[in-house]
Amino acid sequence: MTDLLPPDLHSNRTGLTRRRALLASLATMALAPLAACGRKPPRAQAVPAGATVLALGDSLTSGVGASADTAYPAVLQRLTGWTVVNGGVSGDTSTQALARLPGLLQKHNPALVIVSIGGNDFLRRQSSATTRTNVQRICADARASGAQVLLVAVPELSLMAAVGKLSDHALYKEVADELKIPLHSKGWSDVLAQERLRSDQIHANAAGYEQFAQGLVETLKTTGLLAQ
């Protein structure tokens, strides 16, 4: 039928079709970055039973306020079947944990690194920007070693914290989003907000570490790091 159209009309219609195709192509290109920004990070790979997992942190990881066998890494090992290395050092800041990390990675070659650090930075009123940079480097360096990484949010200091209402510091979600790694949120905030789960104002007791580990397991399952 188009052969029956006058040459000039046939040319105009062909040009219109090409312009529409070009505009559609440009629209697709423009929307692609927006779609990528909203895309969820890929699901993690399940860490098999018996694999080595490094729990990096401070006194909340080492288990101050409870015995070694009730610290959260020991409880996590019992719940998962992993070999969980307790890499917690009481009093450590993010700067000190960052300095210790290369030696721990080399020694243990973990399949997964669980990062829970920063509380001592906040207690000592260190710069949040420095803490954020250190936490980001810890996670990035651990991932560069070939390990998967799970970041654990730590409560921020606030007036509400003084009356037992804790909330996670915003930097942890920022780092997790930026690096596209899973985040365990509200674990410590929920435990340390309950007097019955604390040994003092900033440490859990055995029941608190048990509850934290149980919640951590749920996040590990949700993210795919632990097979259900």
By annotation, the residues acting in catalysis are 59, 200, 203
Using alpha carbons, list the distances in angstroms from residue 225 to 43, 114, 144, 221: 8, 11, 17, 6
* Domain residue ranges of the chain, discontinuous segments joined by +: 2-38, 52-223
| Alpha-carbon torsion (122, 127, 129, 132), positive or negative | negative
pLDDT value of position 164: 62
Question: What are the two backbone dihedrals, phi and then psi, of residue 81, each rounded to the nearest 5 degrees?
Answer: 85, 5
pLDDT value of position 165: 77
Which helix (H) or strand (E) segment holds residue 98: the answer is: helix 94-108
Residues 156-179 as b or e (16 or more Cβ within 10 Å = b): beeeebeeeebebbebbeebbeeb
Could you please state the CATH topology (level 3) that the domain comprising 52-223 is classified under: Rossmann fold (3.40.50)
The single residue listed with the structure tokens 């048990």 is 210
Give yes or no for a contact between 61 and 74, defined as CB atoms under 8 angstroms apart. no
Tell me the pLDDT of the chain (228 aa) as tens digits.
Answer: 444 444 454 445 545 545 555 444 444 444 444 333 444 555 689 999 999 999 999 999 999 999 999 999 999 999 999 999 999 999 999 999 999 999 999 999 999 999 999 999 999 999 999 999 999 999 999 999 999 999 999 999 754 444 467 999 999 999 999 999 999 999 999 999 999 999 999 999 999 999 999 999 999 999 999 998
pLDDT value of position 147: 98
pLDDT value of position 19: 52
pLDDT value of position 28: 44
List the one residue out of 217, 218, 93, 199 whose CA is nearest residue 154.
93
CA distance 149 to 141: 10
CA distance 41 to 177: 9
Which helix (H) or strand (E) segment holds residue 52: the answer is: strand 52-57
